[in-house]
Structure 1
Amino acid sequence: MSAPERPLVAVLDYGIGNLRSAQKGLEKVGADARLTADAGLIADAAGLVLPGVGAFGRCMEALRAAGLEDVAAGGVADAADGGRPFLGVCVGMQMLFEGSDETPGVPGLAALPGRARLLPAEVKHPQMQWNTLDWRRRPGPTTALPDPAWVYFVHSYGVDCPNDLVTATCDYGGPVTAMVDRGRCWATQFHPEKSSATGLALLAGFVAECAAPATVA
């Protein structure tokens, strides 16, 4: 009996941050994960991942310089309509929205409504710690995660967005958006690849979605 095929997952390579950590996490849970900016490979992939570490403005500028802005925005739109799965991570989640107060003059992808804003003044910046998720719902990739789910955060900005997008929050000077979803687009403010077994369970759920058929009507 042959081994099941590993779904091809394109990790968008725009040359900034530790993109390989996301690639390695996906490989560990069964994906054929490729760090790439190649249009043909991206077109053939069963799922797309947009990681991000560092400053919002630098990440957006690098994404545009790599010619991946439209790829990422189109990937979110397709996933939101039930097509090919898309996962954003940390700054990669913030970039899906309209912009960030960290770099006011640099627009985001505006694929989802909302904006990244500085965490409350009374808490330490950045939030650099393990924290628990407060679930609002449990979409596909999250169903195998424990409750409470401990995950690892490193960020000073959090997304302010419509309530119907919010999958989970964490408590850090008040509720902070920790995960969002729309259709087959999911994005996390925390780092699944740094969140031990819980994070790997989320990545495994995403890879399973990549292996499943699209739900576009």
Structure 2
Amino acid sequence: MVAIIKYNAGNIASVKNAVERLGFDCVITDDINKIQNANKVIFPGVGEAKSAMNHLTNNGLSGCIKSLLQPTLGICLGLQLLCQYSEEGDTECLKIFETSVKKFPADDIVPHMGWNNISINTEPLFKGLNKDDAVYFLHSYYAGICEQTIATCNYILPFSAAMRKDNFYATQFHPEKSGDVGELILKNFLEL
């Protein structure tokens, strides 16, 4: 069973649909027991860092997420909340990845929205992908490049398009909206 964390952030239904299209059973839940006992966990989200982090903390989900041992995939806001800190709302985050989240410097070309190429490292998450495949982004804040960066993208400046630390994986882009490439990335994660 795949648990998709419900935490007052958008875009959860499209992730559920993508997982089910790949033939995996999943549940959208904020039940800590179901999350801890799932085979895989997906931490998606579209929203604002401060209110999302407050919701996670107030509902016991922040501690739950940090303690997960099974493969866990953060998507978009999920990636950002797995970092140390976000400038959005001056937010302390979950501190899995060793980088901070900052706002892109040029307001006139933000958000970063649409398809962009990524440069990938050799990782199980990217098995079968071609160098510089394109994926779909929609974000105004970015995670800096750090030791846990496994894919980069360049929009205004280089940033982490995907990250990994131990059992935690994360993508700034939306695999559930990235066509065949995104479907392959989700499949690779679900088959870890």
SS at match of 1:179: strand
Letter in 1 for 2:47: G
Q: Report the alpha carbon displacement of residue 40 of structure 1 after superposing the two structures with TM.
A: 2.7
Is 2:160 the counterpart of 1:177? yes
For residue 4 of structure 2, the aligned residue among 3, 8, 11 is 11
SS at match of 1:168: strand
The question of whether the paired residues in 2 share the 8 Å contact of 1:49 and 1:87 is answered with yes
The answer for unaligned runs of 5 or more in structure 1 is 1-7, 79-83, 210-217
Counting matched residue pairs gives 192
User: What is the correspondence of 1:1-217 to structure 2 with a 5 Å cutoff?
Assistant: 8-75=1-68, 78=69, 84-104=70-90, 106-121=91-106, 124-135=109-120, 137-162=121-146, 164-209=147-192
Structure 1's consecutive aligned runs of 4 or more residues displaced over 6 angstroms after TM superposition are none
Letter in 2 for 1:89: I
The question of whether the paired residues in 2 share the 8 Å contact of 1:30 and 1:207 is answered with no
Q: Which moved more, 1:47-56 or 1:115-124?
A: 115-124
Letter in 2 for 1:143: K
Q: TM-score, normalised by structure 1?
A: 0.83
Q: Report the alpha carbon displacement of residue 122 of structure 1 after superposing the two structures with TM.
A: 7.3
SS at match of 1:14: coil
The answer for unaligned runs of 5 or more in structure 2 is none
Q: Report the alpha carbon displacement of residue 143 of structure 1 after superposing the two structures with TM.
A: 0.8
SS at match of 2:16: helix
Letter in 2 for 1:95: L
Q: Give a deviation string over 1:93-123, Cα, whole Å, max 9, x none.
A: 000011111111x210112221101113276
Which has the greater radius of gyration?
Answer: 1
Q: For the residues of structure 2 that align with 1:123 and 1:130, how far apart are their CA atoms? A: 18
CA RMSD of aligned residues (A): 1.5
The answer to which structure has the higher strand fraction is 2
- Alignment identity in percent? 32
Q: TM-score, normalised by structure 2?
A: 0.94
For residue 212 of structure 1, what is the aligned residue in structure 2?
none
Letter in 2 for 1:166: T
Distance of aligned partners of 1:21 and 1:71 in 2 relative to their CA distance in 1, 3 Å threshold? same
